[in-house]
Amino acid sequence: MCGIVAAITNGLDARASVLHGLKTLEYRGYDSAGMAVHTGDSKLAVRRKMGKIANLEAELASNALPESDQVIAHTRWATHGAPADRNAHPHTDDGGEIVVVHNGIIENYLDLRAELVADGHVFLSDTDTEVLANLIARHMRNGNGGIDLHTAVRTALTEVHGAYALVAMCATEPGTLVVARQDSPLIVGVGDAAHYAASDMPALLHLTRDFVALENGESAISHADKMQLCSASGDWIERETTLCDWTPEQAEKGGYPHFMLKEIEEQPDVLARTAFDRFHDTEGDVVFEDTFTLTDADLRALRRIRFMAMGTSSHSAMIGRWLLAEFAELPGETLNASEFLYSPILPENDTLTVIVSQSGETADSLRAMRELQKRGGRILGICNVQGSTLAREADDLILTHCGPEVGVASTKAFFGQVTALYLLAIRVGRARGVLSTERGLELLHDLRALRPKLDSLFAPEAMAAVRQAAAFLATVPSCLFLGRGLQHPIALEGALKLKEISYIHAEGYPAGEMKHGPIALIDEHFPVVVLATPDRTYEKMISNIEEVRARSGKVIAVGVAGDQQVQNAADYFLPVPEVPPYLAPLVNVIPLQQLSYEVALALGRDIDQPRNLAKSVTVE
Ligand code: M6R
């Protein structure tokens, strides 16, 4: 949802490194991109272009910006104002004195704009950000020369309702960048005689691995050699930097044609990184880091567990609910985080809420977390991004160790989340005394044994089967994904993956629902993807396959390699290795990710940056 990068250095030209960082953030939005520099002679220069960053690069090649040690840049996911050059960031005030990049939504921008127009300000875009630039400029001018950029930004922000992460620069205040945030992510990177700012750490990994995350309401003044952090109440504060353990290579494609393919293939390593170091191999238990402060007594006192998330993360949350019931006998529910605020308010006594989020910046999930904390609820975050808002604000935290996920379609993050949820179920089950040491040891053994089994999913035969099914699926306008029990969330995830990157309409259903409506859609042009691996739903899934075939529907089935019954019944068969049923989600999701990837490839879609989407949805 818009990406911001900025740099201020001690005389070194920062244009190339900011552009490099911006490309790393393109997954956050790709409706337009722009860059602004301070020219050193009390002037600002701006270039902006509709469309992807490649268009901005072409513009910069023909109409270069001057070298500068003070650069800000932006890649946009349109909210206010259609994708167009004039709506692209950075935005300046009408005097060309202030320039701003912004991620978020200024909810009262129309009122503010009307006031500014009445004051004689002229607007050239439809955006809320141009309002911010003019508001800051108005405060600077009203200051009779006595107000600096930071004071003007802070004063302007007192008039604003909504969410923002912003970087501002002023023509008459060289050597200074001002950053501020409220409900949209922003981190400051600390370099050697340089400071940086970005929406997300991967954008700065080529420059630094030392970061300071801004909390809500905070702002900062960045010079090349120092950064002054200011609290929401206006006090100067000190904060240690945090070292990020991601490497710059993890945020690169590494020879793969798409991030999505690279990230699908990284999943066996994600299993090892997220799980194995946390095993307690003599106790049949799991040991989390000290960000997990829930004691055995806390876990025993729980009566209910609630999972909340959005999108793909809500599918892993559904699996989490099932695992906690199965292995820890803890009943619970899964709620869509955006719906939570509109649900009846129940007492929070003895309830733990688990918020699952790859980015830790999803606005709906954060809003639900804060609302619950206000009601006295306790939050456990499961998150991939160290230092993100969820990671910082949740009461307890389990980090997944997936490395940066860049493809907009989430793959390895889902895998890491489900892995972390297995660990959580084991930990809670052991703490509550419902999981014996022996059973705990078996579960750890099964997880460890899973890793080599995953290799067969990437073997040439398996990939050939996926490509065959994909060649067929790429010809249909619509399809259904069916699964029962633990496979229902995988059916939902398969359908989400397919629709978001191929634009083929797909719905996931609990297989038992098929006869209650969706069956009416089935004919020779309407295929069904079925999850039919061995568990207590197997016989019923075979019946579903027959029902589809009886109506001339084509079946793509995920089944265990060598399962003749499923293979013979299906038109396309995607073989998976046999694993204990409770681990099947981690296996079965992979051919569905590969299937959607291959369908999107066959259709020539923009796989890593599908239309209309953004990686982190930081607005509600
Ligand atoms: O960062 P989060 O896990 O909180 O993001 C939630 C969803 O926005 C995300 O999973 C989205 O659905 C993905 N595009 C799915 O591939």
Q: Average pLDDT, stretch 84-99?
A: 94
Count how many Cα atoms sit within 13 Å of the Cα of residue 462 in the half-sphere of its side chain. Answer: 23
Mutate to test the pocket of ligand 1, among 27, 199, 334, 359 (most ligand atoms within 8 A of CB): 359
pLDDT of residue 143: 62
Tokens found for residue 450: 């899973």
Distance 318 CA to ligand 1 centre (A): 14
Phi, psi of 566 (to 5 degrees): -70, -45
Distance 86 CA to ligand 1 centre (A): 29
Structural contact between residues 566 and 576, judged by C-beta atoms closer than 8 angstroms: no
Closest C-alpha to ligand 1, atom 14: 409
Smallest CA-to-CA distance from 189 within 24, 337, 300 is with 24
Share of the chain above pLDDT 90, in %: 86
Distance, CA of 601 to CA of 597 (rounded, Å): 6
Residues with CB under 6 A from ligand 1: 310-313, 357-359, 362, 365, 408-410, 496, 500, 613, 616-617
Distance, CA of 137 to CA of 81 (rounded, Å): 22
Which residue reads 């997944």 in tokens? Answer: 400
Distance, CA of 361 to CA of 372 (rounded, Å): 16
Question: What pTM value is reported for the model?
Answer: 0.86
Reported as a single tens digit per residue, the pLDDT across 527-562 is 999 999 999 999 999 999 999 999 999 999 999 999
> What is the distance, to the nearest Å, from the Cα of residue 572 to the centroid of all Cα atoms in its chain?
32
Reported as a single tens digit per residue, the pLDDT across 100-159 is 999 998 899 999 999 999 999 999 999 989 999 999 999 988 765 568 999 999 999 999
Is 615 catalytic? The answer is: yes
What angle, rounded to 10 degrees, do the helices at 584-602 and 488-502 form?
20
pLDDT of residue 554: 95
Which atom of ligand 1 lies at the shortest distance from residue 417's CA?
3
Q: Is the per-residue pLDDT at 2 higher than 80?
A: yes
* Secondary structure (DSSP) of 164-221: EEEEEEETTSTT-EEEEEEBS--EEEEETTEEEEESSGGGGTTT-SEEEEPPTT-EEE
Which atom of ligand 1 lies at the shortest distance from residue 310's CA?
6
* 47: Cβ contacts below 8 Å, ≥ 6 apart: 34, 35, 36, 56, 59, 60, 63, 65
Structural contact between residues 503 and 605, judged by C-beta atoms closer than 8 angstroms: yes
Distance 216 CA to ligand 1 centre (A): 22
Mean confidence (pLDDT) of the chain: 94
pLDDT of residue 539: 93
Distance 410 CA to ligand 1 centre (A): 6
Reported as a single tens digit per residue, the pLDDT across 169-179 is 999 999 999 99
> What is the distance, to the nearest Å, from the Cα of residue 80 to the centroid of all Cα atoms in its chain?
22
A 10 A CB-CB count for 95 gives: 15
Residue 609's alpha-carbon distances to 29, 181, 188, 191, 571, in angstroms, are 8, 26, 26, 30, 31
